[in-house]
Amino acid sequence: MTWRKVRMPHSVVGPAGPERPRESCPRRLPRLRRALLATALGLLAVGPIAQAQDPATKVEARGGASFGQWGVETGYIAAGVAPGDDFYLHVNKGWLESASIPAGFPMTGAFVHLMLRTEQQLQAIIDELRAGKAEAGTPARQISDLYASFTDMERRNALGSRMLQAEVSAVLAAPDRRELARRMGDFGHSSFVSLDVAPDPGQPQRYILSLEQAGLGLPGRDYYLKSGEPYASMRTAYLAYIEGVFARGGVADGKRRAAAVLAFETALARCHWTPEQERDAVRNRHPMTVSGLARHAPGFDWAAFLDQAGFADVRRVDVHTDSAIRAMAAVFSRTPLDTLRAYAAFHYLDNHAPLLSDAWADAHFDLHSRRLAGIAEQRPLDKRALDFVNQLLAEPLGKLYAERYFPPESKAAADKLVKFLRLAFRERLAEVDWMDAATRREAVAKLDAITTKIGYPDQWHDYSSMSIRPDDLVGNLRSYQRWVRNDARAKLKEPVRKWEWDPTAMPQVINAYYSPTGAEIVFPAAILQPPFFDPKADPAVNFGAIGMVIGHEMGHGFDDQGSRYDGTGALRNWWGKAARKNFEARASRLVAQYDGYSPLPGLKVSGQLTLGENIGDLGGMMVAWSGYRKLVDAEFQGQAPVIDGYTGAQRFFLGYGQLWRSLYTDGFLRQATLTDPHSPGEFRVNGVLRNFDPWYEAFGVTPQNRLYLPPEARVRIW
């Protein structure tokens, strides 16, 4: 069974971070807002440069920040590049010329910087657990034993793929399509659909089983359907890899079968929705009964598939990408049985390859990482083991991480900042001139209803039933998969667990996200570190970094898709017709802007695919800026001090520009541009700021500068 690889629909990470993540006149503040602002100052106005100054005072930075003296590494700023010509390059030119991508990564930047730091902390925790003698069945022992099972290469090399051979033989001997459908629902297998149990957009207080298109071994449909290079070479490499998998797995007639598998996947790719279409929340909602699914997508035995997956008693499902699933079921029904057997056998072996011998793991890396993503070197065994533990036991490991590295006072301070920025967003909603009063009331009610989770969960899952042994790596994976399936089955009989966090956003993860059906924004502990947040940095830099990230996640509740959900998490149209029309007109202009950006020769950003994230960035910038101006009004009598020749406004934007500096391999950048809803870092900076009036004022940008847009061409949404 293929469980959907959880993609947080509205997260800050993107091509700027792996996975696989911006001066007005002073005015008096109402009493409540002044009180909340005061609580935020403890978080953002810490350190020697944060003391109130005479507005005309120029001060020198006195150090202490993790990046530079006051939060920005000014040595990397390129005076020869005008801010208005290319602000991203102006801030980051020196870094881009001197940085290198760490071994085993497809890119580097702020997210990787923090990942490596967090990785050291997690490794220290695991080393201590392994040195101790934890009681069997405890989280500490499970983490230790899982790590040991992954690093035992002597055993893995001796076994090879032996433990998989019985299932491979059974698949290749399957007598009919019904038996193949049944096996595709079992652990370790792939099919042309993925499964997920998540809140029902129609009744967000309950869970529903959903289905979505899947089944491709290459990163996306374009890798099968685009002609020319580099796609043709990638398909050739994939074909050779499939043949190699069959050879290592002892499957006869591998050359013919490999060609058949690639042809079958190409037929599936023709059925797939585009990434842009997959984003459409309304179009993706198709609740129906299981019997209705059988009528909607005949040619595949849905009852056998769902029974083996553990959902025989489910009567109602939500079918995403509905036309693609119907078309793929038809492809399945007319494809020769031997091709379907070969497809199932190949993916069963490929899914387990990173857990087998060196030969299997190296070949898997060579295709999926080196050839497709441009990663030159595989990570060391201990780092891969840590990654694996961080996937299967992310929550218990994250609990230990939070206890050690995230003090309660940090959680409290961050919560105060979120409340403060929420007020800034509320004021922005009141000022929007294209929205009618009724829609505005709905928008404010939704903003007020969005809950916040910071640092770590208040309640944790119980993993004690999961059997983990130090000498059975594949068995450990099965135990985890069984736990996930049982937990998913239990959810279908329960109200939605408001305490639960997305499994890919545990405390040790550098990310943040907005959940539309959960009506919540979530900030794991690990993102509350430099360069996102540094209590010793200049407040302007903090607002331009973590302030923008917080505003970005709030903004997702009001992007082109998040805005379709109300404050309860229900998919409901709460907009007036004129307001929606005005919103979409502004959004379409943003689409057109980003359609014009090109990260590689012959490759364009999709403005429609990245629209939600771009609206989140633009809205986050506005919220962060509004919050920063309130701080300046309260603490600096309306004018922040000049530090090292930079005004407060300039430091705010420098902090933002530094946050998204990134280096990518060409392969990863191509893959991300084609499939990821986030724009590359360069355009997250330049694309946002050229629409933002305060940036023009801060750096004196004129019509002679390349990034200049006339005021009437600048997109203003929130």
pLDDT in tens, 227-243: 999 999 999 999 999 99
pLDDT of residue 31: 30
Work out the widest C-alpha separation in the chain, in whole angstroms: 83
- Token pair for 337: 């049985």
Using an 8 Å Cβ cutoff, are 177 and 303 in contact?
Answer: no
CB neighbours of 238 closer than 8 A, spacing ≥ 6? Answer: 217, 218, 262, 367
Which of these ranges, 328-332, 587-591, 634-638, 649-653, has the smallest mean pLDDT? 634-638
Q: Residue 626 pLDDT more than 70? A: yes
Residue 71 — very low, low, confident or very high, per pLDDT cuts 50/70/90? confident
pLDDT of residue 3: 55
Residues 284, 508: Cα–Cα separation, whole Å = 31
CB neighbours of 447 closer than 8 A, spacing ≥ 6? Answer: 422, 425, 426, 429, 554, 557, 558, 567
pLDDT of residue 58: 45
Residue 4 — very low, low, confident or very high, per pLDDT cuts 50/70/90? low
* pLDDT tens for each residue of 402-425: 999 998 878 887 888 888 899 999
* pLDDT tens for each residue of 275-310: 999 999 999 999 999 999 999 999 999 999 999 999
CATH homologous superfamily for the domain 177-355: Neutral endopeptidase , domain2 (1.10.1380.10)
pLDDT of residue 14: 62
Query: What's the average model confidence in pLDDT over 188-204?
Result: 96
* pLDDT tens for each residue of 547-574: 999 999 999 999 999 999 999 999 999 9
Estimate the crossing angle of helix 381-392 against helix 473-491, to 10 degrees. 20
Q: Residue 32 pLDDT more than 50? A: no
- Token pair for 710: 């006339």
Report if pTM > 0.75. yes
pLDDT of residue 335: 99
Query: What's the average model confidence in pLDDT over 199-207?
Result: 97
Q: Residue 30 pLDDT more than 70? A: no
- Position with higher pLDDT, 136 vs 591: 591
- The full set of domain ranges for the chain reads 11-20+62-110+399-454+469-713, 177-355
* pLDDT tens for each residue of 413-458: 788 888 889 999 999 999 999 999 999 999 999 999 999 999 999 9
| Mean pLDDT taken over the chain | 91
Phi and psi torsions of 663, nearest 5°: -120, 135
Q: Residue 177 pLDDT more than 70? A: yes
Using an 8 Å Cβ cutoff, are 595 and 604 in contact?
Answer: yes
pLDDT of residue 414: 85
Query: Hey, how many other C-beta atoms are within 10 angstroms of the C-beta on 120?
Result: 10
Question: Quick check: bond before 531 cis, omega within 30?
Answer: yes
pLDDT of residue 518: 96
CATH 3.40.390.10 given to domain 11-20+62-110+399-454+469-713 = yes
Helix (H, G, I), strand (E, B) or coil at 521: strand
Query: What's the average model confidence in pLDDT over 485-493?
Result: 97
Residues 342, 705: Cα–Cα separation, whole Å = 58
End-to-end CA distance of the chain: 42
Residue 537 — very low, low, confident or very high, per pLDDT cuts 50/70/90? confident
CB neighbours of 533 closer than 8 A, spacing ≥ 6? Answer: 43, 414, 527, 542, 545, 546
Which of these ranges, 48-62, 249-263, 605-619, 651-665, has the smallest mean pLDDT? 48-62
Q: Residue 470 pLDDT more than 60? A: yes
How far does Cα 280 stand from its chain's mean position?
17
Please report, for residues 356, 414, 423, 549, the alpha-carbon distance to residue 420 in angstroms, rounded to integers and kept in the order given: 50, 10, 5, 14
Residue 67 — very low, low, confident or very high, per pLDDT cuts 50/70/90? confident
DSSP string, 290-353: HHHHHHHSTTS-HHHHHHHHT-TT--EEEESSHHHHHHHHHHHHHS-HHHHHHHHHHHHHHHHG
DSSP string, 48-84: GGGS---TT-EE------SSTTTSS-GGG--TTS-TT
Q: Residue 46 pLDDT more than 60? A: no
Helix (H, G, I), strand (E, B) or coil at 203: strand
pLDDT of residue 93: 98
Q: Residue 115 pLDDT more than 50? A: yes
- Token pair for 405: 């590295």
Q: Residue 34 pLDDT more than 80? A: no
Query: Can you say whether the dihedral through the CA atoms of 209, 214, 219, 222 is positive or negative?
Result: negative
